Structure 1
């Protein structure tokens, strides 16, 4: 059993970036937090049931406030950016972020504050002998593993369903399989805001600003590559290889769906190869069991009209029909019979067989992998158009996807 905290590498730029006289005290303090905050807490073989536990942390720029009980909301907001990933002995992937209760978050914040305070301004980015690692380890051992043990019957609900194992780059296009597990936009917004503020106040020049941005990409790419290597090393290589031959890549929800029935993984991967637009839909339906969040329920109600008065009973009947259609669709996929799959998809989404066949032959990558409520609207809109009038480029498909979003509810 080993426990490590993964941090970014040091660069020559850091001496200037953390010097108050050069960049100002606010940016220097934010830069110190940026350098000192661990990107991931990795616990290998914590028990016989778990191969790996990884806690991905957002940047801790407000630790001095978060350690004060008065600012409990800051802790909750910061906790929304935490990802608690687990890989069990059967190599399934879980996302336990919903199980991090306020008491565990509070202890984690205190341990992290001690870790950052004891981090040197210059020098090594920290190793296994860091003086505060024992406290971080204690938080994981005493709280997180205990939480998992007490919620054993609830594990299936927390199978990872979203995100891809891929490096995230700010400003780059999202891959067809969805967003990356590493969301840089939410990891260090305060640091980027301080950097832009220093540029506006002319405390730093454009050349230095560009150097810092390039250093962010360099360091984050490096640390994300290390975390990816750790995660991929704990997963089933055969299943990853099957996903690698599809256009969606290592989508965690699809990975878990394939792992549920290894004998049927080839049939399931074949459907993902033909229609990557179904990736998120099949991950959600194939894993089943987790209650949808309120945002998903609200979006589906808008898409189906269930929010209107008198439509609740009709929506419930439609939901029962959809459940039967999903079971039929999943059986068709597992049978490996393409014709049955196409007919089942057309029946479930209430579109023509010809539309599904057209997408089966050539599914545009620009469609991505939308959630079911959006996917249904996209397919219904496509069903109204002949194939010759479909968009011809990625920009056209993106505009078409946007136009397929249901209109907002009139508050009157």
Structure 2
């Protein structure tokens, strides 16, 4: 075998410890597949005294993670600190500027600064690998950038956040409300004490921005991603979705549209209703899934664990094996990136689910449907369960395809009706 690859790891939390353990436990397999031994020789973390459940004897310790970039005994830097700024960014920039390969699981850093980092990596001839940044142990980046490289991709979509998928799964299975299930997820460790990064869709948006850049060969553009979370999804909506043959999932969707004023790339994260028989509808719990559609291959579905020590470490070590083998792909999969416009959310065209809480009295439905007619929105179905004259009842409408801007204008007028008692619920319907 060749000279061992010397690795410096910054960040010894769940994933960092997982990487060290995996490299030790599977050293024989990893070494055979890499063609050389992979050895962690230096580390950096905030607290030297913390017991991480693994031996760190014999490793060089740097209090400042950026020092790993200048350590002559480190061949490749693994950044597992997290965050788009601070020491994580400083370390990655310093390592690439020094011409050292970098492996990272940091989706926020790539979504915010990916364009600049890719330029530095290309200029210095230093690989920047990030399989672990999207969907944990699912090889989504490798599939898009390498396995599907011959395809013109039209769409990439996925369940990109396990916390949200777990919450929606439990709400559906047990008929419980969002706040109650979120609190339980926090007790079980599936959700953070401050869960906003997950439940407001920010985490999924970071990952989608990365997937869209690779799928469509354009610069990463987090600002173009429309983002909505799951706070407003109710147990009632989930039950009604089931009656209509749908399940509610938080999806990240990047789609190429070819014609008309909306031509370009749309990127959006929001709750979706997907048919119960669609493969992605059956991905439950903390699992993730990525669906890609190419002109040659058709539809490809990948699913697995999207987080955790083992799955994420698996992706990190896969990148290290590529580096050890000298396999080097451009950061975004192409030497030159295309300038493809982003499609604003107002231009999105698709079917919708609307749920209204209205006073049960004559003429209410006529008022609602006349507003939809005025905005050229055609109804697919209308559902009302039971009668309760003078009381509040849910009314559910699904529409044929229409433009988002028209739907938003119609909703403003519908919400202003005196018979409508609360903000209308809107969920977009996706084929899968």
What's the TM-score once normalised by structure 2's chain length?
A: 0.22
Structure number with higher helix proportion = 1
Relative contact order higher in (CA < 8 Å, ≥ 6 apart): 2
Structure number with higher strand proportion = 2
What's the TM-score once normalised by structure 1's chain length?
A: 0.23
